[in-house]
């Protein structure tokens, strides 16, 4: 399901079934490149990448088939959102959505609108704004450029990451960061990043990856990618996210943290930081997953979860407090010198 994977667990190159594109992309270099790259793929011209009526009408059971399409447009919204975790701003950037299919993904926000991969070709305009904001500020700002997509995965299609890093490195101020669940990092290992980029690898127990994070890289491959990135001089963070309280979750997450301690190099451990996020879920997730993945695990637990706004669920406070205590103890045991930036 999701991104194709071969029998050895390797991620295969995404091959779109069809491309939906805005005419305006022909005015941008990246737009021209993508149209040429996929010249043999059937194409449908659309007026607005944010409102594709054909997609909105599809049934939930068609969710995975819908993800085989690629949408290409021009990003019109460039609003920076304040963030106070590992960045100063969440920044709209070169993609939204994903070709993988994590069952909890918050981008499944409106039926058949946000979850498939959308690429935005006006990268020069977006990066230029980041650089201008960075250099107008009195403080050294950090910009989260991957909150709406997975840029390592996107890079296998667009090659945007080397371009972004190369064009940002000479900015007198500013720092970029993004998370990923993928191991295809070789394209950025030899890029001169000038220490201005932090890559944060999202991890989960292998059982959770196999049963919930469809189409993403295996845990061992993610750990290997972290080691390679650190060797290339990137700053590294690890997201244990989302923490999913399945029946034997403590055993699974204790083993995960132990595997990280055993698999990461001493160079990584020297200044690695952690972020921990407990899963939130929703009515929308439940309805889509029931039809798109009828044989998959049910992530909604009525006994452990409570309402969090309209149609949304979170773990009840007593489970959340117990979980935070347990995870802090495990991190302290295996990574006594590393900081947990936050737990939410």
Write out pLDDT tens, residues 72-129. 999 998 999 999 899 999 999 999 999 999 999 877 655 455 678 999 999 999 999 9
Taking alpha carbons only, the member of 236, 246, 296, 310 closest to residue 267 is 236
Mind listing the domains of the chain with CATH numbers? 19-343 (3.80.30.30)
Tokens at 37, concatenated = 């790259």
> What's the confidence (pLDDT) of residue 82?
97
> What's the confidence (pLDDT) of residue 110?
54
Helix runs in 196-248, H state only: 206-212, 219-231
- Say whether pLDDT at 70 is over 60: yes
> What's the confidence (pLDDT) of residue 2?
44
- Say whether pLDDT at 3 is over 70: no
**pLDDT category of residue 11 using cuts at 50, 70 and 90:** low
Mean pLDDT for the stretch of residues 58-79: 91
DSSP H or E run through 262: helix 249-263
φ, ψ at 115 (rounded to 5°): -80, -30
Q: Say whether 342 sits in a helix, a strand or coil.
A: strand
Beta strands in the chain (DSSP E): 19-22, 43-46, 70-73, 81-82, 89-90, 95-96, 101-102, 118-120, 142-144, 175-180, 197-203, 213-214, 235-243, 273-278, 280-282, 305-307, 312-315, 339-343
Instruction: Write out the DSSP string of 12-42.
Output: PPP--S-EEEEGGGGGSHHHHHHHHHTTTS-
pTM of the predicted protein model: 0.94
Pairwise CA distance, residues 337 & 274, whole Å: 11
Pairwise CA distance, residues 331 & 337, whole Å: 9
Mean pLDDT for the stretch of residues 299-322: 95
Give me the count of residues in the chain.
344
């Amino acid at each position: 399901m999701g991104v194709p994977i071969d029998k050895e667990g390797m991620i295969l190159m995404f091959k779109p079934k069809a491309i939906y594109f805005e005419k305006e992309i022909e005015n941008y270099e990246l737009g021209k490149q993508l149209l040429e790259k996929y010249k043999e793929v059937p194409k449908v011209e659309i007026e607005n990448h944010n409102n594709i009526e054909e997609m909105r009408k599809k049934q939930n059971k068609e969710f995975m088939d819908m993800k085989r399409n690629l949408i290409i447009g021009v990003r019109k919204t460039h609003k920076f959102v304040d963030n106070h975790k590992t960045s100063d701003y969440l920044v709209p950037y070169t993609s939204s959505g994903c070709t993988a299919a994590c069952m909890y993904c918050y981008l499944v926000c409106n039926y058949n609108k946000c979850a498939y991969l959308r690429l935005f070709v006006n990268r020069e305009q977006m990066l230029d704004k980041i650089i201008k904001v960075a250099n107008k500020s009195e403080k050294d700002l950090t910009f989260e450029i991957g909150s709406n997509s997975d840029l390592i995965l996107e890079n296998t299609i667009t090659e945007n990451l080397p371009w972004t890093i190369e064009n940002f490195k000479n900015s007198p101020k500013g720092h970029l960061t993004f998370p990923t669940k993928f191991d295809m990092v070789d394209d950025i290992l030899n890029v001169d990043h000038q220490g201005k980029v932090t890559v944060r690898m999202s991890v989960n127990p292998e059982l959770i990856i196999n049963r919930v994070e469809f189409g993403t890289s295996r845990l061992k491959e993610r750990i290997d990618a972290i080691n390679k990135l650190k060797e290339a001089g990137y700053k590294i963070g690890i997201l244990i996210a989302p923490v999913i309280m399945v029946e034997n979750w403590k055993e699974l997450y204790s083993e995960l943290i132990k595997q990280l301690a055993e698999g990461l190099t001493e160079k990584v451990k020297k200044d690695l930081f952690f972020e921990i996020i407990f899963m939130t879920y929703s009515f929308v997730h439940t309805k889509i997953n029931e039809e798109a993945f009828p044989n998959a695990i049910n992530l909604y637990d009525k006994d452990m979860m409570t309402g969090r706004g309209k149609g949304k669920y979170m773990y009840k406070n007593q489970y959340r407090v117990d979980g935070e205590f347990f995870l802090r103890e495990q991190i302290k045991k295996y990574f006594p010198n590393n900081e947990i930036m936050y737990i939410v």
